[in-house]
Amino acid sequence: MSKHPPGLHIWIVLVPLLLCPGSCEEDTKPPLENLVVINVEQLGWGDVGAYSPWRSDTPNIDKLGDSGVILDSLYSEISATATSATFLSGQLAVSWGLHSSNNAEDTQLREDSGFVLPSTLKILPQILKTKDYVTKYIGRWNLGQRTEANPTKFSFDSFLGTVSDSGVKYDNLRFPNIGFYRNERIVARMFDPNTKEDDLVEDGVSNLTKVYTDDMEVFIKTQEKPFYLHVSLDALKHRPYRSPKFADSSAESRSTNFTDALREVDEFVGVVVRALQETELADKTLIIFAAQSTALASHYEGGSNSPFTGATGDSTEGGVRVPAIISCPGLDWGGNTRSKQLMNFADLHATALSMLGFTPAACKEDKCVKEGMDMTESLVTGDTTGHRDMITIYRGRTLMALRRGRYKAHLMSRSTFVPGQFLDNLTSYKLRNTTKLPILFDVVSDPGERFFIGGGFDTSSSRYSDVLPGLQKEAEYVEENVPLKDGLLNECNVKWREWTPTGCLDLELCVEMTRESKIRMCNIPEWTGMG
């Protein structure tokens, strides 16, 4: 694969014609001016009607595909943190240090992590600011909870949301309750019945998604300049929550808090589309809807990653292959409705910039392992020639698996035991090195990774012998071109938890720190099951 796909010069001529299906005056701007990104944590293929037609809980999400392209081969990182970092930076997050030096499995921020995005990165809002975009972030910011890590420090003009993981049990003793922020200032504490945004206090009922919906609608309807709105919804994560309006709304479906919450997430998407239509901005706005992690799928309140095996945190398809739709009624998609193009979140970054008229950063090596590739041509023409044909799957600093074309090789194995699922040679509580005899699957004919071609203890397949050398060569290329820097997730200190954030004194929301302040090497997070 070259850095510049075949026919690139022809494509440069075609892009304006596709963006302006009629005739374009010389000074006419392309119709795309705005970008709306909607990320959802712990959402699987089996939860979305566009991927699982028997599901009826996501009509608004599904309808995005009517004016866009459904992505059938978009891969997230193993953690939502790494996925978010990869998208915003346009670079594979592990390549610039989003990992721990003492724990091969750690890419998720601990609640007392000292992580702050490095100043050497230029993330998406900073790029868009060069053309005077208005930028806003709504929802869970999972790239650091310290004041220095706030989204407003990285060219987001405004922020409404949380900066900590709602999965941890907060008690104001070991862990201060989650803060709810407007810009850098705390305005409420979650899990606190005395505050307006009381979250998950009883039976998974919360107005949080409704708060986000109202704020998003006001933002869209008051814009007079090009804007970038990024939303990260965590209503489906760990303990799903929904507003009273949606409680028990899925009684005729799965009748769980998760499905209720999913219906509210779908309503959020519907409100976005209606707000854009009412302001006559729909044809000028690119919407990217993408799960940034797959379904938990390991208990009753989780979602579904069907037809894949595994769950969020795994290197199996069920841990990294996410539902996503890229949509804009103002674009001519050339009749394409679905894309099988292999893509990662760095590619989404580059593609969004290209569609908005920016020039994405060039790849520094032939296969674009670290940087994103502009997939506009592939999405519009359906031609995957000359585009990405390899996906790397990292858990922290460890290359767990690699997909090239239809084949996927597991170089390391570890899987969460999803009830009812067991993968021979692959499912294991312990991290197991299978580099010498990688476990090989054809994920086109066997997306569930149920029938391995060979590897582990069985190498008798002739197809295994034919395919494996090429994949091993690709793995060597990746290891050579992604030299791992010192981990940025090493330092933890209890003082970096949300004890006394900016504004807490004014609203009597400060919490006395009861632990000794001391910088230490971060431990293995409890959620990994490895501690």
Convert the pLDDT of each residue in 63-120 to its tens digit: 999 999 999 999 999 999 999 999 999 999 999 999 887 654 567 788 788 999 999 9
User: So what's the pLDDT on residue 17?
Assistant: 42
Among 170-179, 334-343, 394-403, name the one with the lowest average pLDDT.
Answer: 170-179
Band (457; pLDDT cuts 50, 70, 90): low
Q: Phi then psi for 391, rounded to 5 degrees?
A: -120, 130
User: So what's the pLDDT on residue 423?
Assistant: 66
Better pLDDT: 336 or 298: 336
CA proximity to 359, closest of 127, 54, 165: 127
Q: Where are the domains of the chain?
A: 31-392, 398-481
User: So what's the pLDDT on residue 521?
Assistant: 84
Cβ-count burial of 342 within 10 angstroms (0-12 exposed, 13-18 middle, 19+ buried)? buried
The count of other CB atoms within 10 Å of the CB of residue 257 is 24
Encoded amino acid at 217, one letter: E
Band (169; pLDDT cuts 50, 70, 90): low
Q: How far apart are CA 331 and CA 32, in angstroms?
A: 8
Q: pTM of the entire structure?
A: 0.91
Cβ-count burial of 43 within 10 angstroms (0-12 exposed, 13-18 middle, 19+ buried)? buried
User: So what's the pLDDT on residue 285?
Assistant: 98
Question: Quick check: 294 and 320 in contact, CB under 8 A?
Answer: yes
The residues facing 179 across adjacent strands are: 189
Which helix (DSSP H) or strand (DSSP E) does residue 376 occupy?
Answer: helix 376-381
User: So what's the pLDDT on residue 359?
Assistant: 94
Encoded amino acid at 432, one letter: R
CATH code for 31-392? 3.40.720.10
CA proximity to 227, closest of 183, 193, 276, 297: 276
Band (210; pLDDT cuts 50, 70, 90): very high
Q: How far apart are CA 498 and CA 483, in angstroms?
A: 34
Which helix (DSSP H) or strand (DSSP E) does residue 398 occupy?
Answer: strand 398-404
Q: How far apart are CA 156 and CA 125, in angstroms?
A: 6
Reduce the DSSP state of residue 273 to 3 states and report it.
helix
User: So what's the pLDDT on residue 291?
Assistant: 98
Note the CATH architecture for domain 398-481.
2-Layer Sandwich (3.30)
Question: Quick check: 66 and 260 in contact, CB under 8 A?
Answer: no
Q: How far apart are CA 401 and CA 435, in angstroms?
A: 10
SS (H, E, C) 75-109: ECCCCHHHHHHHHHHCECHHHHCCCECCECCCCCC
Encoded amino acid at 228, one letter: Y
Q: How far apart are CA 138 and CA 122, in angstroms?
A: 20
Q: Across residues 332-355, what is the average pLDDT?
A: 95
Which helix (DSSP H) or strand (DSSP E) does residue 132 occupy?
Answer: none
Estimate to the nearest angstrom the gap between the alpha carbon of 51 and the chain centroid: 18
Q: How far apart are CA 232 and CA 181, in angstroms?
A: 14
Same fold yes or no, 31-392 and 398-481: no
Q: Across residues 218-241, what is the average pLDDT?
A: 94
Question: Quick check: 44 and 320 in contact, CB under 8 A?
Answer: no
3-state helix, strand, coil in the chain (%, to 5): 25, 20, 55
User: So what's the pLDDT on residue 384?
Assistant: 80
